[in-house]
Amino acid sequence: MAEVEVNGGVVVYELIGPPDGEVLVLTPGGRFGKDYPGVRPLAQALAEGGKRVLLWDRPNCGGSDIQLFGRSESHMRAETLGLLLDELGMDRVVAVGGSGGARDMIVFTMMYPEKVRRLAVWCIVGGTFSTMSLAGVYVIPELRAVRAGGVEAVVRLSGPAGSWSDLCAVNPRNAGRLRAIGDEEFERVMTRWLDAFIPKPNEAIPGVPDYEFAQIAVPTLIIRGGEKDHDHPKRTSLEVHALIRGSRLIEPPWPEDAWERPGRRGFDFWIHAAKPLLHFVDEVDE
């Protein structure tokens, strides 16, 4: 594990696999870090297939510093990844991600097309229920907290998809960073980020207008959303497939209800994506 400063904040990262392997950036969802259940097993399987896998704690995840800037949280993370790759001397990568990480990687490919050779995504969030649910997880509690008790209340805030209090416990710098941001700026940024999670008829995924998908010109693999997955609906994967010209849609390599199954631990079923991902990455570019 290593760290580097990007845009005034420390980003924690790790490289797994042979040094001469093609670099895949694996990005999980939620405000979860690289050690969230299910992420590392997939990374290790990709590394066993000869790939160099970059695992990273995005801003506001894991051991990295809290950051608040940008059009949306995904746009902030995409910018951070672009600068991280520059710091690591990596010119082009395969962008791979699921759930919120799928959105982050889609936005990254739009913002830095020259840095992406291929794109692969799954468990894509979209639709009214899923998008409004995210607002209730990522932004509404933060706005209630900061309006009621300032950033001190945010420092103590817990949540189901990554906790600000946990971020402050894991990384002692983060409480001070929140206090330096201050009540007004924290509320201002969260209000802006909330806009991404207001369902709009021209946005298949939160915060990304449909017309921006025309910017994606790299080979793209989309794993279809599950029939029973209300948080990452089948319909959204079909819409994204329609929006990315030349993209390929494949059937999920896990059960239709994998996300909803009792006893699921995080992203534990993602390991089943290793084989189709390796096959996709190893295809010869036309």
pLDDT score of 226: 95
Matching residue, tokens 């001070």 = 176
**pLDDT score of 193 more than 70:** yes
Query: What pTM does this model have?
Result: 0.96
pLDDT score of 93: 98
Digit-coded pLDDT (tens) for 123-142: 999 999 999 999 999 999 99
Digit-coded pLDDT (tens) for 157-174: 987 666 899 999 999 999
User: With bands split at pLDDT 50, 70 and 90, how would you rate the model's confidence at 1?
Assistant: confident
Digit-coded pLDDT (tens) for 217-250: 999 999 999 998 999 999 999 999 999 999 999 9
Digit-coded pLDDT (tens) for 19-71: 999 999 999 999 999 999 999 999 999 999 999 999 999 999 999 999 999 99
User: With bands split at pLDDT 50, 70 and 90, how would you rate the model's confidence at 91?
Assistant: very high
> Is residue 147 left, alpha or beta, with left meaning phi > 0 and alpha meaning psi from -120 to 50?
alpha
Q: Are 11 and 88 in contact (CB under 8 A)?
A: no
User: The sheet that has 2-6: what strands, in order across it?
Assistant: 2-6, 9-16, 52-56, 23-27, 93-98, 116-122, 220-223, 248-250
Second CATH level (architecture) for the domain 2-126+205-282: 3-Layer(aba) Sandwich (3.40)
Range(s) within the chain of domains with CATH label 3.40.50.1820: 2-126+205-282
pLDDT score of 162: 65
Contacts of residue 232, defined as CB under 8 A and 6 or more positions apart, other chains included, come to: 99, 122, 123, 124, 125, 126, 130, 225, 226, 259
pLDDT score of 286: 65
pLDDT score of 285: 75
CA torsion sign for 74, 189, 82, 27 is negative
Distance CA 24, CA 26 (A): 6
Output the six-digit token pair for 84. 């991280």
pLDDT score of 17: 98
Q: Are 232 and 123 in contact (CB under 8 A)?
A: yes
Q: Are 160 and 93 in contact (CB under 8 A)?
A: no
Helix (H, G, I), strand (E, B) or coil at 214: helix
pLDDT score of 140: 96
Q: Output the average pLDDT for the chain.
A: 96
